[in-house]
Structure 1
Amino acid sequence: MGGGPHFIQRISENIRDLCDEDYATFAFKEGDIRWKWQDLELNSNWVRNELSDLQRGVVLIFLRDMRMIHASLFGALLSGFIPSIMPCTSPKQDSGAYWKSHNELLARIEPIAILTVQEVHSEMVDAGMILDNIKLIEIDMMEPIEREFSSYSSASGDIALLQHSSGTTGLKKGVSLTNKAVALHSERYGSALAIGKGDSVASWLPLYHDMGLMACMVMPAYHGVPIVQMDPFDWTADPQSFLEMIERNNTTLCWMPNFAFDLYANISSVLRDNIDVSCMRGWINCSEVCRPESMDRFQNQMGVFGVGNEDVQCCYAMAETVFAVSQTEIGRARSPACFASESLNRGSKATLDTHGVQIASSGKKLEGIDIAAYNERGEPLAEGYVGELGIRGDYLFSGYFNLREETESRIVESIYFTRDLGFTFEGEVYVLGRTDDVIIVNGRNVYAHQVESILSMIEGVKPGRSAALGLVNHSTGSEVLITVCELEIGFSATERNGLKREIKKAVFDEIGIAPQRIEFVKPGWIRKTSSGKISRKENLRRYLDEFE
Structure 2
Amino acid sequence: SYLMLADLDDPAVEPLSGPVPVGEDDTALLQLTSGSSAEPKAVRITHGNLYANMTAMVQAGALDPVNDVMVSWLPLFHDMGMVGLLTVPMALGLELVKVTPTDFMSRPLLWAELISKYRGTITASPNFGYALLARRLANTDEHYDLSSLRFALNGAEPIEPAAVRAFTSAGARFGLSETCMVCAYGMAEATLAVSFAPLGIGMQVDTVDADALETGRHAVVAGPSDPDVRTFPRLGPPMPGMEVQVVADDGRPLGQREVGRLQLRGESVTRQYLTTAGSLPTQDPDGWLDTGDEGYLIEGEVVVCGRRKDVIIMGGRNIYPLDIERAAGLVDGVRPGNVAAVRMDAGARRESFAVAVESKQAGDADAERILRKEVTSRVLDAIGLRPAAVVVLPPAALPKTPSGKLRRAAVRDRIADYLP
TM > 0.5 between the two? yes
C-alpha distance in structure 2 between counterparts of 1:398 and 1:515, whole Å: 40
1:432-487 CA-to-partner distances (Å, cap 9, x unmatched) read 111112111222112112322222222211101111111124342x3212111112
Aligned pair 1:428/2:301, yes or no? yes
Q: Specify the alignment match of 2:31 in structure 1.
A: 163
Give the structure with the larger helix fraction: 1
**Closer, same or farther in 2 for the Cα pair 1:148/1:284, shift >3 Å?**
closer
**Closer, same or farther in 2 for the Cα pair 1:157/1:141, shift >3 Å?**
closer
Q: How many residues align?
A: 415
Partner residue of 1:479 out of 351, 359, 364: 351
Which one-letter code corresponds to 1:511 in the other structure?
I
1:335-386 CA-to-partner distances (Å, cap 9, x unmatched) read 2121111233487221111341111111111111110111112222112111
**Closer, same or farther in 2 for the Cα pair 1:403/1:321, shift >3 Å?**
farther
C-alpha distance in structure 1 between counterparts of 2:310 and 2:38, whole Å: 22
C-alpha distance in structure 1 between counterparts of 2:138 and 2:163, whole Å: 16
Aligned pair 1:191/2:59, yes or no? yes
C-alpha distance in structure 1 between counterparts of 2:335 and 2:313, whole Å: 26
C-alpha distance in structure 1 between counterparts of 2:312 and 2:361, whole Å: 30
Report 1 or 2 for greater relative contact order, CA contacts < 8 Å, sequence distance ≥ 6. Answer: 2
Aligned pair 1:517/2:389, yes or no? yes
Which one-letter code corresponds to 1:502 in the other structure?
E
- Kept in 1, the 8 Å contact 2:32–2:43? The answer is yes
C-alpha distance in structure 1 between counterparts of 2:272 and 2:107, whole Å: 38
Q: Where does structure 1 lack aligned partners over 5 or more consecutive residues? A: 1-53, 60-75, 77-114, 117-137
Which one-letter code corresponds to 1:150 in the other structure?
G
1:483-517 CA-to-partner distances (Å, cap 9, x unmatched) read 11112449965554443333233223322323232
Aligned pair 1:384/2:384, yes or no? no
- Kept in 2, the 8 Å contact 1:203–1:216? The answer is yes
Q: Specify the alignment match of 2:41 in structure 1.
A: 173
Q: Specify the alignment match of 1:461 in structure 2.
A: 334
Q: Specify the alignment match of 1:292 in structure 2.
A: 161
Q: Specify the alignment match of 2:129 in structure 1.
A: 260
- Kept in 1, the 8 Å contact 2:83–2:192? The answer is yes
CA apart distance, 1:157: 3.1
C-alpha distance in structure 1 between counterparts of 2:72 and 2:259, whole Å: 34
Partner residue of 2:266 out of 375, 393, 400: 393
- Kept in 1, the 8 Å contact 2:27–2:47? The answer is yes
Q: Specify the alignment match of 1:367 in structure 2.
A: 240
- Kept in 1, the 8 Å contact 2:147–2:174? The answer is yes
Q: Specify the alignment match of 1:343 in structure 2.
A: 212
What aligned pairs does 1:192-341 form with structure 2 within 5 A after superposition?
192-196=60-64, 197-341=66-210
C-alpha distance in structure 1 between counterparts of 2:299 and 2:326, whole Å: 26
Which deviates more from structure 2 when the two are superposed, residues 261-270 or residues 247-256? 261-270
Partner residue of 1:413 out of 270, 286, 293: 286
Which deviates more from structure 2 when the two are superposed, residues 343-352 or residues 257-266? 343-352
C-alpha distance in structure 2 between counterparts of 1:219 and 1:231, whole Å: 18
CA apart distance, 1:518: 1.2
C-alpha distance in structure 2 between counterparts of 1:403 and 1:527, whole Å: 23
Q: Specify the alignment match of 1:357 in structure 2.
A: 230
Secondary structure (helix, strand or coil) at the match of 1:400 reads: strand
CA apart distance, 1:241: 1.4
C-alpha distance in structure 1 between counterparts of 2:38 and 2:155, whole Å: 25
What aligned pairs does 1:525-540 form with structure 2 within 5 A after superposition?
525-540=397-412
Which deviates more from structure 2 when the two are superposed, residues 509-518 or residues 455-464? 509-518
Which one-letter code corresponds to 1:282 in the other structure?
F
Secondary structure (helix, strand or coil) at the match of 1:305 reads: coil
C-alpha distance in structure 2 between counterparts of 1:526 and 1:539, whole Å: 6
**Closer, same or farther in 2 for the Cα pair 1:140/1:423, shift >3 Å?**
same
CA apart distance, 1:314: 0.5
Partner residue of 1:182 out of 50, 53, 65: 50
CA apart distance, 1:411: 3.8
Which one-letter code corresponds to 2:401 in the other structure?
T
1:192-237 CA-to-partner distances (Å, cap 9, x unmatched) read 1111121121111111101001111112222211111111112111
Q: Where does structure 2 lack aligned partners over 5 or more consecutive residues? A: none
Which one-letter code corresponds to 1:529 in the other structure?
T
Considering only aligned residues, what root-mean-square deviation do their CA atoms show, in Å? 2.6
**Closer, same or farther in 2 for the Cα pair 1:299/1:144, shift >3 Å?**
farther
C-alpha distance in structure 2 between counterparts of 1:332 and 1:527, whole Å: 35
Which one-letter code corresponds to 2:61 in the other structure?
L
**Closer, same or farther in 2 for the Cα pair 1:270/1:237, shift >3 Å?**
same
1:164-189 CA-to-partner distances (Å, cap 9, x unmatched) read 21349996322122222211211111
Which one-letter code corresponds to 1:153 in the other structure?
P
**Closer, same or farther in 2 for the Cα pair 1:547/1:431, shift >3 Å?**
same
Q: Specify the alignment match of 2:413 in structure 1.
A: 541
Partner residue of 1:507 out of 379, 385, 402: 379
C-alpha distance in structure 2 between counterparts of 1:324 and 1:536, whole Å: 24
- Kept in 2, the 8 Å contact 1:487–1:520? The answer is yes
Which one-letter code corresponds to 2:337 in the other structure?
G
What aligned pairs does 1:14-93 form with structure 2 within 5 A after superposition?
54=1
Secondary structure (helix, strand or coil) at the match of 1:290 reads: coil
Secondary structure (helix, strand or coil) at the match of 2:54 reads: helix
C-alpha distance in structure 2 between counterparts of 1:150 and 1:168, whole Å: 40
CA apart distance, 1:417: 0.4
